[in-house]
Chain A
Amino acid sequence: MSDRPQPRFPEPDTQPYWEATKEHRLLYLVDRDTGDVVFFPRRHNPKNGSSNLEWRESKGLGTVYTFSVVRLNRHPAFAELGPYAVAYVDLDEGFRILTNIVGVEDPTRDIFIGQRVKLTWLDQSTGISIPVFEPA
């Protein structure tokens, strides 16, 4: 099977996030002053422009916000997968991640909005790991 498209570097905003995936840690950012959760990763808080942010580690539990089961993707890495689910998951810490839902027998039947899901990982030959979710 072809490799999935990988994150590419140098890209300083997301590099620490992807480095942490090598240890199966899912990181997000929090504004030290306001407590705002910042995600996707970047160096400033989009609510106020502050750069006083710190990384935290998610427990990896969340809820499916929405999803679609892709039946047709001409990219070689996905063309061979069969139907697969792309989803937004709302993590309990308050951030929303674009991801895949895996670990179900039939994605067209076994995934629903509001479903509780937990983090799992797809290790890549490049050394990073892709965070995805499965039913909790």
Chain B
Amino acid sequence: MPTQRRDAAIVGIYEYPKRKAPGVTPLQIKAECAARALEDAGLSWKDVDGLYDAQDGAGMAGLSLAEYFGFRPNVIDTTAVGGSSYEFHAAHAKRDIAAGRCRVALLTYGSTAHSDARRIGTMGGGGGGAPSPLSNMTDPYGMTLISNYAMVARRHMYQYGTTSEQLARIAVATRVHAMRNPQAVQAMTDLEFQDIREITVEDVLNSRMIADPLHLLDCCMVSDGGGAVVIAAPEVARDCRQTPVWIIGSGEATSYSENGSDITVSAAAQSAPRAWAEADVRPGEIDVAMIYDSFTITVLVMLEDLGFCKKGEGGDFVSEQRLRFDSPLKPALNTDGGGLSSNHPGMRGIFLLIEATRQLRGESTSQVPGARLAVAHGNGGMLATSHTGGTIVLARD
């Protein structure tokens, strides 16, 4: 029945278990995750010939990361487009493997955002670095990252009647999954969440307003963490320890606010149709949707732009019990507990690939019975201004 091409598969995954990791560096996290993901695949350090890196390794990127790791790769790809970088990397790895440029591609991520006390969401503006036209036009206004996404939420509410209650349902479903995932529970414990339990819509609405209309529980955590993904050619994948999870479609896109543009439409509206067409599947067939949940509004917009429902109907779509792993309705959403309740060290994209792979192997802590098809959609940058969207469609045999 599957007609898709089988050019490359995810064969190894590893998620760094700690969300609070003082005393280690992002580079050390990357290297440890690399070793564990290769072990998961049944491959070794010397098998790696493609290195994909989002330049997150504390000054050692690309070439110097290869040296730090001890690789002499045939392909180095340092695409850094924010949290979706890993979906871009997966797309590039598949392309490079299909072209015969490499056979074993390694994606790694490491971050100590929590231990560094990086105020990712609540520190706007006022940049360091070289001045740019964009920084000069935005720095004086105090636009935090959260308020940037909140402006999309506000406009979505205005255009489509979306409510805070509907957004809250995304956080509620995600927390159900987090409570089933011991790593997520430990994460919330280590990061000193006030109430580590399943939450209600009222809990979300009663949590502190951070930037209207987004409450505290509409926002992801800032953790430490990291992970690694190994992608291999079919002839390698066949001999790996794990069932291969095939990359059957990909799409990449960039979007930004322009004069007169509609900021409720994200880059996913461009990246997703390409990915679906290549994979030859429709959104309605997808069992598990791993969607970047920096905020609840991010998920709502992406569900629409991925085509799970029509533009503007996201509020009603998530109002059903649909998003839970045990719902008969598809798709299940963010079954690891998401960035909202499990893991968000700044660039969550790699965890979308990791949990989607777990689901298609049958290994999730909130396993969707018989899951065969998954999508991972990463969002990078700032949703109301400039951002990227990377869509990866995954299938098991």
Contacts and interface: CB of A to CB of B under 8 A. Distances in A.
Nearest to A112: B158
A90 B123 CA distance: 25
A70 B155 contact: no
Interface residues of A, number: 47
A6 B140 contact: yes
A14 B208 contact: no
Given A70-B144, A73-B122, A7 B155 contact: no
Nearest to B208: A71
A42 interface: yes
B236 interface: no
Nearest to B126: A5
A99 interface: yes
B212 A68 contact: yes
Contacts of A127: none
Given A70-B147, A113-B154, A11 B136 contact: yes
B141 A86 contact: yes
A66 B140 contact: no
Q: What band does the interface of chain B fall in when counting residues whose beta carbon is under 8 Å from A?
A: 35 or more
B122 A66 contact: no
A75 B124 contact: yes
A41 interface: yes
Interface stretch (B186-194, B252-260, B389-397): B252-260
A5 B211 contact: no
Contacts of B140: 4-7, 130
Contact of B142 (A37, A40, A96, A100): A100
Given A77-B126, A78-B142, A69 B211 contact: yes
A73 B139 contact: no
B63 to A, nearest CB: 30
Contacts of B261: 96
B99 interface: no
Contacts of A69: 209, 211-212
Interface in A12-61: 13-14, 18, 37, 39-42, 46
A2 B211 CA distance: 21
B205 interface: no
B327 interface: no
Contacts of B150: 68
Contact of B259 (A13, A84, A96, A99): A96
Contact of B154 (A67, A73, A84): A67
A86 B210 contact: no
Interface stretch (B39-47, B82-90, B127-135, B308-316): B127-135
Contacts of A74: 119, 122-123
Nearest to A132: B141
Contact of B137 (A4, A40, A65, A81): A40
Nearest to B209: A71
Given A8-B136, A96-B260, A86 B158 contact: no
Contacts of A87: 151
Given A75-B126, A75-B142, A90-B260, A98 B147 contact: no
B13 interface: no
A87 B132 CA distance: 20
A99 B139 CA distance: 10
B172 interface: no
A61 to B, nearest CB: 16
A66 B155 contact: yes
A94 B142 contact: no
Interface in A86-136: 86-88, 90, 94-100, 108, 113-114, 130
Q: Which of B152, B214, B258 has the most CB of A within 10 A?
A: B258
Given A69-B211, A96-B259, A7 B142 contact: no
B306 interface: no
B211 A71 contact: yes
Given A11-B136, A68-B213, A74-B122, 14 more contacts: A4-B126, A4-B139, A14-B137, A40-B134, A66-B151, A66-B152, A66-B384, A68-B147, A73-B122, A73-B142, A75-B123, A96-B258, A96-B260, A97-B137
22 contacts: A4-B142, A5-B139, A5-B140, A18-B136, A37-B259, A42-B133, A46-B258, A65-B263, A68-B148, A70-B143, A71-B212, A72-B146, A72-B211, A74-B119, A75-B123, A86-B147, A87-B151, A94-B259, A94-B260, A96-B259, A96-B260, A97-B137
Interface of A: 4-11, 13-14, 18, 37, 39-42, 46, 65-75, 77-78, 81, 84, 86-88, 90, 94-100, 108, 113-114, 130
